[in-house]
Amino acid sequence: MIGSEVWYVSYGSNMSRTRLACYIDGGRPPGATVTYGGARDSTMPSDEIAVELPGRIYFAGESHIWGGGVAFYDHDVAGPTPARAYRITAQQFVDIAAQEMHRIPEEGDPLEEVVIGGLDNGRHTAGPGHYETLVEVGQRDGLPMLTFTAPHGFDAVPHTRPTQPYLDMLTDGLRESHGWGAAQIKAYFESCISD
């Protein structure tokens, strides 16, 4: 199981390599209120690429880590959504997901079997929480491309404004992965927040 690989696709703050490193190696991202323990395997991704997803993001809820709205992805609404894919082990993906679900990574997490065995119909709901719905958004190099989001869709919940520290993490990720400048990033955020 440990050697099985997947592409973890981030459309939110984990597009920032600094932010992702806190889930893998442990630490506190700039502007956040939580320090993470990291994954059981602290090896950084073996590869990473900029990708574009067919769905779109929206901001909803209230983040306990950043305050303000949190980015979610709706695969069934027209996009596109810029994202960043990291090639990591299935175990690391499960550990990142666990920390997003406010759990501690541990041996025997049932999500490992789900990830390695494949998602039925491209989705798996681990629970009702913010990032407890796994979605397969494609394949690359024969490996599944997976992300996580909320069980609700774009039109199902009120949208809320994200805080600037959270947007700063997304900004870092868009610059690093897509090479976007300030004007393009600002226009993208405005389109996501205004809907």
Domain boundaries, the chain: 5-194
Mean pLDDT, rounded, of the chain: 91
Buried b (16+ CB within 10 A) or exposed e, 6-40: bbbbbbbbbbbbebbbbbbeeeebebbeeebebbb
Could you read off the pLDDT of 56-85 as tens digits, one per residue?
999 999 888 888 999 999 999 988 999 999
The CATH number, out of the four listed (3.40.50.1100, 3.40.190.10, 2.60.40.10, 3.10.490.10), of the domain defined by the range 5-194: 3.10.490.10
Q: How far apart are CA 70 and CA 178, in angstroms?
A: 21
The whole-model pTM stands at 0.93
